[in-house]
Structure 1
Amino acid sequence: MSNTNSLFGGSDMMGVCYAPYHQAATVKKSSYTKADVDADLKIISDFNMTFIRTYTVQGCQQHLPELCKAHNIGLALGAWIFQGDSASTHTEIDTALTQANAHPDMVKVIVIGNEVDLASNNYTLAEVEAAFNYAKTQLVNYPKISNVPLTICMTGSGPIPQKAPNINWSSLLPLMQDYAFLTIYPWYGQKVNNKFNPNDITANMQYSYNNGMAQAIAAGLEVVIAEIGWPTAGDTTADTNIKASVANFKATCTWINGTNIYKKAFITMWFEMFDEPWKTAEGPWGPHWGIYGSGVSPELKKDGSTKFTICS
C-alpha cells in the first residue's frame, strides 16, 4: 500500500475545494479582490493543505495560479461549462489555459465542468464532449502545459449508464486523461436511509466504488475524489453539527489514506474550506460545509475542544 500522491507530489492525500466567495451572502462576487484570495490561501497553507481544487477562472480567481505559487499550493484548475452557451465556455477554457500556461509548475490538472451528469445541471452529453474536445484542441497552443492532463468532473455514479435521464455518461471516460474526478457524499447517502454514523463511511464508499469508481479505474483512470464532506449545520435531524463533521473528516482521512478494503489511497478534495452564505439552493445546509466559517476573517470551526485538524 502506497500513499504517494502522483498528481500533486508528496504524501498528502487530502486537499480542499476552494471558492473565494464567503464573506457574506449579500457581497457581490465582483467585489472580491486579489488580496482576498491571497488571505484565503494563507489560511489554507497555514492549515497545511498543500493542494486545492477550483471551479472557474472568473473574477478574482484569475489570480489563483500566481498566488498558489506564492503559497506553494498545487492547483486542480476548474473551467466552468456554461449550459447552452458554447461561446462563454470557450472563453472560460481559453482563460484557464492561459492562466495555467503562465504558471505551469502549479497547475497539475485542468478540470472541465463540475458534476456534468447531475440532472439539475441540464447539460447534454454533446456539449460536455464539445467543451472537453475544444480544450484538447486548444491545448496545443500552450506548449508549457502540453503535459498537463485534462479531465471532467462527474458525480460518483457518473460512470454508470443512467436510466433517468437516459444518457450514457460513461462515454466520457475514454476522453479523460489520466484522472477521473468524481464527487462522493456519504452524508447524502446516510441521509437517504436516515441513519447517520459520521465515524464510519465504509458502506457508503463501497457503494461508490462499485457504482462509479471501479468503472473509472477499469477505463485506466486514477480516481480523484473531487468532493466529499459533511455539513456543520442546517438540518438538526441529520447530524449536521461540528462534532459530527470533524468525526467524519477523520474517518474520511483514514479511508482515503488506504485503510480500506481496497488497500488503496485516493487523492481527495474535502468540500470545502470556507462556508459560503449564498449557497442556499440545495437546502438549509448548503451554506455550512466549511472547515472555516465565513466573513472577512473566517475562523476555524470549533465545538469546545473539538476542531478540524489536518490528516496525518
Structure 2
Amino acid sequence: MKIVIAFLAFTLAVGCNSKNKLQSQATQEVAMTAATILGNSEYLAISYGGYRHIEHAIEPTIKELKEDMKLLAAMGVKILRTYKVHLPQASNVLAAISELKNEDVNFEMYVMLGAWIDCKNAWTELAPDHENESERNAVEIATTVALAKKYPSIVKVIAVGNEAMVKWATSYYVQPKIILKWVHHLQGLKKSGVLSKDLWITSSDDFSSWGGGGTEYHTPDLEKLIKAVDYISMHTYAYHNSHYNPTFWEVPESEKELSDIEKVERAMVRAKTFAVAQYKNVKNYMTSLGIDKPIHIGESGWATKSNGFYGQKGSHATDEYKQGLYFQQMREWTKKEGISCFYFEAFDEQWKDAANPLGSENHFGLINLKGEAKYPLWDLVDAGVFNGLTRNGKNITKTYNGDKALLMQSVLVPNIKYKRAN
C-alpha cells in the first residue's frame, strides 16, 4: 500500500510540475506582446523568406522551415517578418514554429504577419488604378485574420501592405486611404474581441510614404493612418540610395588621401547616418502632427553581389565587408535607441531576380544558398552557435572559408567618379 501511495504521490507531483510548466509557458506567451517585444534588444528581428529555388512556386517544406527557425533562434532572432499570406510559406512558418514550441517549451519565436495589398489592375495588362484596390485585398486580410486567430501566441503584429503606398511601386501602389480602410477594419476586430487587444497593427512602407520624404506624401489620409496604426514600420535603404541619391556616398575632398579601407569604412558610417536621418525625418513629420507613437525599422539591409547599379559598374556599394559594417552599425544604433530593426534579410533567395543570378535582389541574405554564413555572422560561427544545425543538410560554414584577407580582395572602394545614369 505504501508503495502504491508513494507512486501516486510521485505521479501527482510530476503531473503538477508539467501543469505548472505549461501554465508558466502560457503566462509568458501572454506577457510577450508586441509592446514588450518591439524595441527589446533581447528580441532581435529579421525579415524572412525561406524560398530556396529559382522557381518561386516551389514552396519550402515544414521541415525546411523548422531548419531555418532553429538557425534564426541560434542567431538570437525571436521575431520575424513574413510578406504574403496567400502563399503557403506564411501559414507553414506558423505551423513550423508551433511544432517547435511543442517539441521544446523553451523555443521562442514570434511573427509580424504581412498582408499583401495591391491596387486595382495590378500585375495585369490593364493600367494600374491607384485610387482603387484589388479585389484580392479582402481575401488577403481575411486570411491574415484567420491565421492571427489560429496562432495568437505567435502572431504579434499584422502589417497591412509592403511598400504599398510608395509611388515608385508603379505596378501596384495604392493611396493611403486603402491602407487606412483595412487598418480601421483590423482595429475594429480588436475592439470587438475577434483579435487580441495586444495585437499591433501597422503598414510596412518606405520612409517617404510615412512623410519622411517629399511633401507630396503629406496628405490628410496619411495623417489619419499615422493616428490609426499602433506603430510606424518604415524602410530605409542607404544601399539603393548609393545609386539613386549618391551625394552621401561620394568620397569628400577631405577623405581622398585616406587609404582605400578607410574610405570604405567612412562611407559606411555615412550610410548609417543616412538611415538615421531618414528615421528622424519620419519622426519629425509624425511629431509635427502632434502624434507620439513608436517607430521601428521594417526593412533595411545591404546586398553582397550586384552586376548592376551597385556593383563594379555602378556605385561600388556591394560586398560582404560593407554588409558586415552596415549590419553591425544598424544593430548597435537600434539597440541604443530602443528600436527594432527587421534586418533584410535572413537568407539569400534566388527567385527575386531569377533571370539574373548576380542581381542584387538575390543577395541580401546573411546566409547564402550554400549554407555559408556571410561576413556579418562569422563571429557566430566561431562561437559555435550553429553547431549541430544545418540548412539543406549542410553545416553552416563561413564564406571565403573564413579567410578575411581573401574577402578583402573583393571589397570595392566607393566610386568617386560615379554619376547616376539617367
Do Structure 1 and Structure 2 share a fold, with TM-score over 0.5?
Answer: yes
Structure with the higher fraction of residues in helix conformation: 2
Equivalences for residues 190-205 of structure 1 within 5 A: 190-191=242-243, 192-193=246-247, 194-195=249-250, 197-205=267-275
Q: Does 1:110 align with 2:185?
A: no
Q: Does 1:34 align with 2:62?
A: yes
Q: 1:97 maps to which residue?
A: 145
Q: 2:327 maps to which residue?
A: 249
Aligned partners of 1:123, 1:24: CA distance in 2, in Å? 30
Aligned partners of 1:142, 1:67: CA distance in 2, in Å? 26
Which moved further from structure 2: 123-132 or 275-284? 275-284
Q: 1:51 maps to which residue?
A: 79
Q: CA deviation at 1:139?
A: 4.4
Q: 1:174 maps to which residue?
A: 227
Aligned partners of 2:76, 2:175: CA distance in 1, in Å? 38
Select which of 44, 47, 51 maps to 1:14.
44
Residue by residue, what CA displacement relative to the aligned partner does 1:155-194 show, whole Å, maximum 9, x if unpaired?
11222274557856344211112x1100112223344224
Which protein, 1 or 2, shows the higher relative CO under an 8 Å CA cutoff with sep ≥ 6? Answer: 1
Q: CA deviation at 1:213?
A: 3.0
Residue by residue, what CA displacement relative to the aligned partner does 1:5-64 show, whole Å, maximum 9, x if unpaired?
94427532631100122x121x24354322222222122112221111111222132122
Q: 2:174 maps to which residue?
A: 123
Select which of 346, 359, 362 maps to 1:284.
359
Count of matched residue positions in the alignment of Structure 1 and Structure 2: 295
Q: 2:114 maps to which residue?
A: 78
Aligned partners of 1:63, 1:239: CA distance in 2, in Å? 35
Change (3 A) 1:164 1:278: farther
Structure 2 regions of 5+ residues with no counterpart?
1-33, 101-106, 121-132, 251-263, 371-390, 408-422
With structure 2 as the length reference, what TM-score do the two structures score? 0.62
Contact 1:51 1:74 in 2 (8 A): yes
Q: CA deviation at 1:269?
A: 0.8
- 3-state SS, counterpart of residue 145 of structure 1: coil
Aligned partners of 1:115, 1:136: CA distance in 2, in Å? 21
| Larger Rg computed on CA atoms | 2
Q: CA deviation at 1:273?
A: 0.4
Residue by residue, what CA displacement relative to the aligned partner does 1:261-282 show, whole Å, maximum 9, x if unpaired?
xxx2211111000111122299
Q: Which amino acid aligns with 1:174?
A: K
Q: Which amino acid aligns with 1:101?
A: K
Residue by residue, what CA displacement relative to the aligned partner does 1:131-151 show, whole Å, maximum 9, x if unpaired?
323333444566452331211
Residue by residue, what CA displacement relative to the aligned partner does 1:194-244 show, whole Å, maximum 9, x if unpaired?
436224545313421332133346522201100111111101342311111
Q: Which amino acid aligns with 2:362?
A: P
Which moved further from structure 2: 151-160 or 189-198? 189-198
Aligned partners of 1:223, 1:301: CA distance in 2, in Å? 34
- 3-state SS, counterpart of residue 210 of structure 1: helix
* Residue identity (%): 19
Aligned partners of 2:193, 2:143: CA distance in 1, in Å? 11
Q: 1:310 maps to which residue?
A: none
Structure 1 regions of 5+ residues with no counterpart?
259-263, 308-312
